[in-house]
Amino acid sequence: MTDLPPRRLLLVHAHPDDESINNGATMARYAADGARVTLVTCTLGERGEVIPPGLAHLSGAALGAHRREELAAAMRALGVSDVRLLGGAGRYGDSGMMDTADNDDPGCFWQADVETAARQLLEVIREVRPQVLVTYDENGGYGHPDHIQAHRVALRAAELADAEGVPVAKVYFNRVPRAVAEDAFARLEEDLPALPFDKAAEIADVPGVVDGALITTAIDGGPYADAKATAMRAHATQLEVAPGGRYFVLSNHLAQPLFTTEYYQLVRGERGETSDGLERDLFAGLETD
């Protein structure tokens, strides 16, 4: 343990690009502060829809290999060097969208044994000893099977870590306060005529939007906004970021706000003391010095 930095953050995500969209500013902030930031990605997103025509030939394993390169470039932009693929590269395949035939592929993550996958994640926890774990809620933020499975695996791994005596002190879900989303979409409607996108998404398209009362933590990533936008641009097969880095589109070509303050809900552990009810640090209340 003496060779580990005082602060250690573990993020569990389903596909390459999820980490940059949800937590890019947070990851860049903590990496710059000297924390050990570890990303575990559960699949390579082999069934993702490709946006650029020049890359439209990519599919299956070739797309997965390309997205792995995109992930590496995104992590360089965020200053994160510890990136793992759950169970090793190619262990779990992308499951596709919910209620499709892809969900039945025996090699896909949705069909994985949760206990087995959780024990693979436990191996990372044993090594890294994170005090903080970030993942999705029980609906995976928006109902994607791989996101739901990542939630199940992450929480089971945290339970196993507790039983083994290497507990994770705090577990957070990715969130967006509804009022923040509403304000951001109002600005988007005003800015849309000047953007290279024709139509805006809806708040329902943003994963993890909840009532503000559920939000426990807000991480101001303003100084790392450019790093987040650069990381998102690295995932070029999956999304396009508008000039200025305030908006982006996925394969549906519907514009969304790019959030640089990132929000969380503490679901396990003790909330740190705050002046306004919101933590400003994922490690708040922990002895990390």
**Which residues, 6+ apart, have CB-to-CB distance to 90 below 8 Å?**
44, 61, 64
Pairing mode, strands 209-210 and 170-177:
parallel
Annotated binding-site residue? 15: yes
**Residue 235 marked ligand-binding:** no
CA distance linking residue 172 with residue 162, whole number of Å: 16
147 annotated ligand binder: yes
Rounded to 5°, angle at Cα 63 from 248 and 45: 65
At position 191, the amino acid (one-letter code) is D
Q: Which two tokens stand for residue 135?
A: 């993942």
Binding residues for Zn(2+): 15, 18, 147
Binding residues: 15, 18, 147
